[in-house]
Amino acid sequence: MKKISLLAAMLLVVGLVGGASAHVGDPPGTVYFAFQFEDGSAPSVDGSGDDWAFVPDFYWIGAEKWNLAQRGDGGGDFDPTEADLATFNPSAVYGWNDTANRVYLLVQAIDDYHEIDRVDNNWTWTDDDLEIRWSAGHFEKSEFTGGGELNTEGTNRIEHLFAVPPIPTGEFFFGDYDVSYNVPNGPIMDFAYSFEGVEIGAGASTYWYEYSLEIPWTWTEELADVTFLDLEEGYVLHAAAYLNDRDGDPDVEVFWTTGTQGNNQQQQDLQMAEIDDSVDQLPTAVEGSSWGLIKAGFTK
């Protein structure tokens, strides 16, 4: 396994974009920040989210920063401030750690109907799912390649989809690279979840999704040949989180996204933040608090 440095990644971006106009993020002019975890404070990815208790509100992407697309019934796109947050309320926060060379993501979904009703496949998008997308390079949209392509350099889309709880046949994950190491809780990716309230169907629930990834710059058939992006302070990559909210109606799909592009896009700018000196990252920061109280404090 190899790493590509920040400088090399930036040179490749310049070479591909050439004389094109300056990159425009999504939403335009918006940059989100990944909180930098100190060594010893990075999340354990157990689905509880307690490792994020000290992350300031600044890093959180609350419902007002998500965008919403009503699909299936011709409703079209509309402002998330028009949504009824009593029926669905999303939030997310990104992080990263230099030593582990990993990005982290915690997503909360408060819902009044959690749909999991597919029978025997990994088509997670037909249920209430979390969809995570990355591009290692900071390229113009026109330079992106599709997901699942091997031996591309930083332009590839990385797509990881999760619908939990798993159905009886065990499926809960879809990834667009058909290689042995692209699996949850394998060598490059971790995933866990927890919930409170109603697990499936009508009724109030809160789902927590926790995830980490060492981001490949070039995907290959064998893990030993993969080149990974070497994360550094200040680097900006593309990322987006999506949440499906179906509410038991097969003709309606409400699709929330942290960007403004439609499905299969990942144009949101995400910058690796420097260490936040205002934050005490000691693990003891959450001692003495019940998990229920901690989670209540996470609703941004």
| Strands 216-218 vs 227-229: parallel, antiparallel or unpaired | antiparallel
* Listed range (25-29, 218-222, 234-238, 270-274) with the worst mean pLDDT: 25-29
Q: Alpha-carbon dihedral of residues 176, 134, 143, 148, nearest 10 degrees?
A: -10
Q: How many CB atoms lie within 10 A of CB 86?
A: 9
Residue 22 lies in a domain: no
pLDDT in tens, 150-166: 877 766 789 999 999 99
Angle at the Cα of 120 from the Cα atoms of 115 and 126, rounded to 5 degrees: 35
Q: Mean pLDDT across the stretch 122-145? A: 83
Residue 20 lies in a domain: no
Q: Is 113 left (phi over 0), alpha (psi -120 to 50) or beta?
A: beta
Range of the domain at 198: 2-15+28-297
The CA distance from 181 to 188, in Å, is 7
Q: Which of 68, 56, 124 is nearest to 95 (CA)?
A: 56
The CA distance from 212 to 198, in Å, is 26
Q: Mean pLDDT across the stretch 176-198? A: 96
Residue 208 lies in a domain: yes
Residue type, 233: E
Write down the pLDDT at residue 200: 96
pLDDT in tens, 284-297: 444 333 333 333 33
70 close to 254: Cβ distance less than 8 angstroms: yes
pLDDT in tens, 192-205: 999 999 999 999 99
Q: Mean pLDDT across the stretch 37-46? A: 96
Residue 216 lies in a domain: yes
Residue 152 lies in a domain: yes
Q: How many domains does the chain have?
A: 1
Write down the pLDDT at residue 290: 32
Residue 157 lies in a domain: yes
31 vs 19: which has the higher pLDDT: 31
* CATH number for the domain harbouring residue 285: 2.60.40.1190
269 close to 25: Cβ distance less than 8 angstroms: yes
Residue 21 lies in a domain: no
The values of phi and psi at residue 50, to 5°, are -65, -20
Residue 46 lies in a domain: yes
Q: How many CB atoms lie within 10 A of CB 108?
A: 22
The model carries a pTM of: 0.84
Q: How many CB atoms lie within 10 A of CB 79?
A: 9
Write down the pLDDT at residue 19: 30
